[in-house]
Amino acid sequence: MTILLSKLFKFAQHIILINNIDESHSLGHSMNVLHFSHNIIQGELLANPYLEQQRKVIYISAIIHDTCDNKYMNVDDGLKKINDFLQGENEINPVEKEIVKKIITTMSYSKVKKDGFPDLGEYQLAYHIVREADLLAAYDFDRCICYQIHKTNCDIHAAFLNAYELFEKRMFKHNEDGLFITSYSKKKSIILHSNAVKRIHTWKSLL
């Protein structure tokens, strides 16, 4: 797994560099999603032992999920690079390769709100684990500010206001919108929600 993880992070870093992806969606974010995915698996493994055989798919999806993000690149171009990368990896079988692509192309907040959850059969829980891990990572309020600055080249006050509005409309409603199904995510999201509120209050005092 160590060799594969190294290859995945190198691939993600390559995509980050050639597409000028800012720190909000860089390797740090991939690492956070990977760690949240791992933690969710650990919480679900006793009831769903088959997840042990799906770790690879989950970890791959967690690390490269933003390497075809339409905020930074043409999606088809990104998917072609992902496909080329996956095809060259012997550690990943054809079924796993297809599942990875299905997960990363259907897990975004906007896709879920528009189309609902896809049906990935035996990999349905794996899909939710990666999707939820990405949502948990999105509770980082400063990350959202960084993205706003990169996206609009605005000043810090405008970036704060944009981020605050996004949190009020989106992140702070994840639980009531039914976007978390695993026990770990439901519990962790409450803690992250509280941390984000505290961070927002600190920013208000700074600005």
Arithmetic mean of pLDDT, 66-75: 94
pLDDT value of position 127: 98
Report d(CA 128, CA 12) in Å as an integer.
21
Q: What gap in Å lies between CA 54 and CA 129, rounded to an integer?
A: 11
pLDDT at site 91:
86
- Annotation: CATH topology of 1-130: Hypothetical protein af1432 (1.10.3210)
77, 117, 126, 194 from 67: Cα distances, Å: 10, 21, 19, 30
| Residue 108: band (very low, low, confident or very high) from pLDDT cuts 50, 70, 90 | very high
pLDDT digits (tens, 9 = 90+) for 138-193: 999 999 999 999 999 999 999 999 999 999 999 999 999 999 999 999 999 999 99
Over residues 49-61, the pLDDT tens digits come to 999 999 999 999 9
* Residue 1 pLDDT exceeds 90: no
Gyration radius of the chain's alpha carbons: 17
Q: What pLDDT is recorded for position 90?
A: 85
Q: Determine what percent of the chain is predicted with pLDDT higher than 90.
A: 96
For residues 99 and 85, the answer to whether their CB atoms sit within 8 Å is: no
Question: What mean pLDDT do residues 96-119 have?
Answer: 95
Q: How confident is the model at residue 89 (pLDDT cuts 50, 70, 90)?
A: confident
* Domain layout of the chain by residue ranges: 1-130, 138-207
